[in-house]
Amino acid sequence: MEYLIPSPLKLNLTLRITGRQANGLHRLNSLSWRFHGHESIVVRLPAPGGKDIVRVYNYVINGQNIMLKVLNDLRSHGFPNIPLEIDINKAVPPGTGLGSGSGNAAALIGWARRVFSRDILVGLESNIGADIPFLAGHASLARVRGIGDIIEPVDANLPFSACVMIPKWRSNTGEAYRSVDDETNGCWMPDEDAFNESEKILTALAANERVGLLPNDFIPGLAQLHPEYEVLFGILERTRALAWGLSGSGSALFALMPERSHLEELGAKIANAPGIERILFWE
């Protein structure tokens, strides 16, 4: 039996770090937007040879693939011990802040939930990765808080097209968080202030108003390492984009366009932009 499953990605429309726990994990407040269309996984069962097989196409994944961790955790929660063959069709490299690896994991969890039992997956997502509870959920737009484990769906219509630009460099998540720690020196934005900020931005976007550069605490550190961001944000400011910013801890940036036709105009302006490796359009 073979299953083809779409794998979600996410954009952080806002991202503020609001604290750090004693165990070193950071608390955040993020307005997150989930979408499909660029990656997928194929699950076959049972796998030949009696053992799990995970293959990745288009990009090399260093270290243990997150899918093997998902399988181990699934089985510890009662998932049948059936060997699986999993193909991951990648369109987004790791280290871009779009949650592609977490999206692959969320797709596998969603498949297991539908094909087997929802009960075996209670509380599983937050043990695997911070982005997975949101990506494995049902809300396309949500406020994500805590360490990524508090998901508050947001009922709002944002009829935008998006252009996602993947640069040639990658962002190391651990280094990005250390940079934020050094920058803030423990002076985090209060959660209430982060909430109010994102509410104002959401209200403006819903009214089709131009917002400009969206707040993300990782921008200063990455912009210092890569001056190209200043050039790229400047290009986006001269387009009809309503808002633009950085997703997650980077390195990908994105622009929200009010109409589909404006994507062509934007595409022409950034086609030769410095440092851009790949462009994704989401309509």
Q: Give the pair of three-digit tokens for residue 183.
A: 């920058």
Give the span between the Cα atoms of 282 and 11, in whole angstroms.
Answer: 11
The domain boundary, picked from 95, 127, 153, lies at 153
Q: What pTM does this model have?
A: 0.92
pLDDT of residue 180: 92
Query: Is residue 120's pLDDT more than 70?
Result: no
Considering its fold, how many domains does the chain have in total?
A: 2
Backbone angles phi, psi at 157, to 5 degrees: -100, 115
Kindly report whether the peptide bond that precedes residue 102 is cis, defined as omega within 30 degrees of 0: no
Q: Does residue 23 surpass a pLDDT of 70?
A: yes
Dist. CA 227–CA 53, nearest whole Å: 41
Are both 124 and 197 inside the same structural domain? no
Q: Are strands 243-246 and 212-213 parallel, antiparallel or unpaired?
A: parallel
Structure confidence by residue, pLDDT tens digits, 247-257: 999 899 999 98
* Nearest CA among 92, 91, 75 for reference residue 83: 75
Are residues 33 and 136 part of one domain?
yes
**So what's the pLDDT on residue 80?**
85
Indicate if 114 and 240 belong to the same structural domain.
no
CATH at residue 130: 3.30.230.10
Percent of the chain with pLDDT over 90: 65
Q: What would the mean pLDDT of 90-113 be, rounded to a whole number?
A: 93
The torsion defined by the Cα of 232, 233, 238 and 244, in degrees rounded to 10, comes to 120
Residue 148 has pLDDT above 90, yes or no: yes
Give 187-224 pLDDT, tens digit per residue.
Answer: 999 999 999 999 999 999 999 999 999 999 999 999 99
For the stretch 127-143, pLDDT in tens is: 788 899 999 988 999 99
Tell me, yes or no, whether 130 and 192 share the same domain: no
Task: List the one residue out of 36, 17, 37 whose CA is nearest residue 27.
Answer: 17
d(CA 227, CA 129): 30
Q: Are residues 149 and 174 in the same domain?
A: no
Q: Which domain holds residue 93?
A: 2-153
The predicted pLDDT at position 231 comes to: 93
Say whether both 179 and 126 belong to one domain: no
134, 153, 172: which is the final residue of a domain?
Answer: 153
pLDDT score for 60: 79
> Average per-residue pLDDT in the chain?
90
Answer for the pair 37, 162: CB distance below 8 angstroms, yes or no: no
When pLDDT is cut at 50, 70 and 90, the band that residue 234 belongs to is very high
Q: What's 263's domain CATH number?
A: 3.30.70.890
Residues 77 and 165 in one domain: no
| The predicted structure's pLDDT at residue 131 | 92
Q: Are residues 10 and 112 in the same domain?
A: yes
Residues 144, 167 within the same domain: no
Under DSSP, the state recorded for 216 is: B
In DSSP terms, which residues pair with 281 in a beta bridge?
163
Q: Which of 153, 169, 193 is the last residue of a domain?
A: 153
Looking at the structure, tell me whether residues 113 and 68 fall in a common domain. yes
The verdict on 145 and 8 lying in the same domain is yes
Provide the pLDDT confidence category of residue 260 given band limits of 50, 70 and 90. Answer: low
pLDDT, residue 207, reads 92
Statement to judge: residues 165 and 104 lie in one domain: no
Q: Which of 106-115, 210-219, 259-268 has the weakest average pLDDT?
A: 259-268
- In the prediction, which pLDDT does 160 show? 86
For residue 106 the two structure tokens come to 């969320």
